Amino acid sequence: MISGGVDSSVVVHQLCEQGHKPSLFYIRIGRDDVDYMDCTAEEDMEICTAVAHKYGLKLELIDLHREYWDKVAVYAIDKIRNGFTPNPDVMCNRLIKFGCFEEKVGKVFDITATGHYATTHVIDGKTWLGTAVDPVKDQTDFLAQITYMQVKKLMFPLGNLMKKEVRQIAAKAGLPSAKRKDSQGICFLNNINYNDFVRRFLGEQEGPIVELETGKILGKHKGFWFHTIGQRKGLGLSGGPWFVIQKDVQQNIVYVSNGYDCTKQYGDTFRLKDFHFITEDPWQEGEHEISFKIRHTPDFTRGIIVPDGDGYLVKSSEMLQGIAPGQFGVIYDKNHRLVIGSGEICNY
Q: Go through the domains of the chain in sequence order and give each one's CATH number.
A: 6-115+157-173 (3.40.50.620), 204-261 (2.30.30.280)
What pLDDT is recorded for position 132? 98
Q: Estimate to the nearest angstrom the gap between the alpha carbon of 134 and the chain centroid.
A: 17
Q: Name the amino acid, one letter, at 172.
A: K
What pLDDT is recorded for position 43? 85
Residue 100 falls in the annotated catalytic set: no
Active-site option among 16, 48, 92, 100: 92
Concatenate the DSSP letters of all residues of 50-73 into one string. Answer: HHHHHHT--EEEEE-HHHHIIIII
Contacts of residue 262, defined as CB under 8 A and 6 or more positions apart, other chains included, come to 243, 245
Q: Name the amino acid, one letter, at 281.
A: D
Active-site option among 16, 39, 48, 187: 187
Concatenate the DSSP letters of all residues of 163-209 into one string. Answer: HHHHHHHHHHHT-TTTTPPPP-SSTTTTTS-HHHHHHHHH----EEE
Residue 299 has what DSSP assignment? -
For 124, counting Cβ atoms within 10 Å of its Cβ (0-12 exposed, 13-18 middle, 19+ buried), the class is exposed
Nearest C-alpha neighbor of 38 from the set 29, 46, 47: 29
Q: Name the amino acid, one letter, at 279.
A: T
Strand duo 217-221 + 126-130: pairing: unpaired
Distance in angstroms (rounded) separating the CA atoms of residues 77 and 100: 20
Nearest C-alpha neighbor of 146 from the set 86, 217, 82, 96: 96
Concatenate the DSSP letters of all residues of 23-42 into one string. Answer: PEEEEE---SSSTTS---HH
What pLDDT is recorded for position 91? 94
List, in sequence order, every residue forming a beta bridge with 208; answer none if it has no partner.
220
Q: Name the amino acid, one letter, at 135.
A: P
What pLDDT is recorded for position 326? 94
What pLDDT is recorded for position 148? 97
What pLDDT is recorded for position 22? 96
What pLDDT is recorded for position 102? 95
Report angle CA 60, 23, 33 to the nearest 5 degrees.
20
Q: Name the amino acid, one letter, at 181.
A: K
Exposed e or buried b per residue across 29-57, where buried means at least 16 C-beta atoms within 10 angstroms of its C-beta: bbbeeeeebbbbbeebbebbbebbebeeb
Note whether 170 and 177 are within 8 A (CB).
yes
Count CB neighbours of 247 within 10 A: 21
Residue 92 falls in the annotated catalytic set: yes
Q: Name the amino acid, one letter, at 256.
A: V
Reading the chain (348 residues) residue by residue, the pLDDT tens digits are: 999 899 999 999 999 999 999 999 999 987 665 555 555 678 889 999 999 999 999 999 999 999 999 999 999 999 999 999 999 999 999 999 999 999 999 999 999 999 999 999 999 999 999 999 999 999 999 999 999 999 999 999 999 999 999 999 999 999 999 988 887 655 555 556 788 889 999 999 999 999 998 999 999 999 999 999 989 888 989 987 899 999 999 999 999 998 766 667 788 999 999 999 999 999 878 899 999 999 999 999 999 999 998 999 999 999 998 899 999 999 999 999 999 999 999 976
Concatenate the DSSP letters of all residues of 227-262 into one string. Answer: --TT--TT---SSS-EEEEEEETTTTEEEEEESTT-
